[in-house]
């Protein structure tokens, strides 16, 4: 049987974690301001898929194995750090360009792919999932409780990213971006660089 109180506890904890500022929310906001709502929604969908994949890892117990493997964690952290540094480089290049940095919305899957890679390259996501599910899924919980909590949180994560995309692609947000493009992109580059270096430092310290 389902435990509604446990599901709500897991969901509430997940909302706080997913909606809090971080590399994923920063990236979807930047993409939406720079390239419009279509690109932002596709990027957010990719983020949601990556997040759901980590949820599946946590729900099936693979996350416990991953947490115990220092080698696997280090590789994931190095890959995630490198990807964040690549994003920082792209934002820095945009900051120094003199031309308008807005880009046409593409019909291909590149934004979807980039969003998925960003969350898949973040090993901290699986630990957040494990902590979230532990609030609503106790020891010996029935599979339906685990599956329901995972599905509910995964859908909520996608909705949060979509909300960011809609909010930051609004005309006012894009106009503000156009006025302060260089400063915004420089700040984004700095935050991505800090996050990437933090992951790499954590991997090398293990």
The helix/strand/coil state of 37 is helix
Q: Provide the pLDDT confidence category of residue 101 given band limits of 50, 70 and 90.
A: very low
Could you tell me which of 76, 32, 69, 30 has the C-alpha nearest to residue 50? 76
Q: What's the pLDDT score for residue 173?
A: 94
Domain parsing of the chain, residue ranges: 4-205
DSSP states of 150-185 = HHHHHHHHHHHHHHHHHHHTSHHHHHHHHHTHHHHH
Q: Count the neighbouring beta carbons within 10 Å of the beta carbon of residue 85.
A: 18
Percent of the chain with pLDDT over 70: 86
Judge whether residue 205 has pLDDT over 90.
no
Judge whether residue 188 has pLDDT over 80.
yes
Q: What's the pLDDT score for residue 141?
A: 60
Whether 46 contacts 114, CB under 8 Å:
yes
Whether 148 contacts 1, CB under 8 Å:
no
Residue 136 to residue 27: CA distance in whole angstroms: 29
Residue 105 to residue 192: CA distance in whole angstroms: 23
Q: What is the pLDDT of residues 110-161, one digit of tens each?
A: 899 999 999 998 877 777 777 777 766 655 567 787 788 888 888 999 999 9
Q: State mean pLDDT over 87-96.
A: 88
204: Cβ–Cβ under 8 A, 6 or more apart, which residues? 74
DSSP tally for the chain: helices H, then strands E? 10, 0
Helix axes 23-35, 181-205, angle to 10 degrees: 150
Q: What's the pLDDT score for residue 63?
A: 59
Question: How is residue 101 written in tokens?
Answer: 């940095």
Q: What is the pLDDT of residues 15-45, one digit of tens each?
A: 888 888 888 999 999 999 999 999 999 999 9
Q: 0.75 cut: is pTM over it?
A: yes
Judge whether residue 99 has pLDDT over 90.
no
Q: What's the pLDDT score for residue 65?
A: 59
């Amino acid at each position: 049987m389902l435990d509604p109180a446990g599901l709500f506890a897991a969901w509430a904890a997940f909302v706080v974690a997913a909606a809090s500022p971080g590399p994923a929310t920063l990236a979807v906001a930047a993409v939406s301001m720079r390239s419009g709502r279509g690109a932002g929604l596709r990027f957010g969908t990719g983020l949601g898929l990556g997040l759901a994949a980590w949820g599946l890892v946590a729900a099936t117990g693979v996350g416990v194995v991953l947490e115990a493997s220092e080698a696997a964690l280090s590789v994931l952290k190095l890959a995630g750090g490198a990807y964040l540094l690549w994003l920082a480089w792209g934002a820095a290049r945009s900051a120094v360009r003199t031309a308008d940095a807005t880009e046409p919305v593409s019909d291909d899957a590149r934004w979807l792919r980039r969003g998925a890679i960003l969350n898949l390259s973040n090993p901290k996501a699986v630990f957040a999932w494990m902590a979230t599910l532990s609030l609503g899924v106790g020891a010996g919980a029935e599979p339906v409780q685990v599956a329901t909590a995972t599905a509910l949180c995964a859908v909520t994560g996608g909705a949060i990213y979509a909300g960011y995309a809609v909010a930051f692609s609004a005309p006012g947000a894009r106009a503000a971006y156009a006025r302060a493009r260089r400063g915004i992109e420089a700040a984004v580059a700095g935050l991505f660089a800090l996050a990437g270096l933090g992951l790499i430092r954590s991997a090398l310290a293990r």
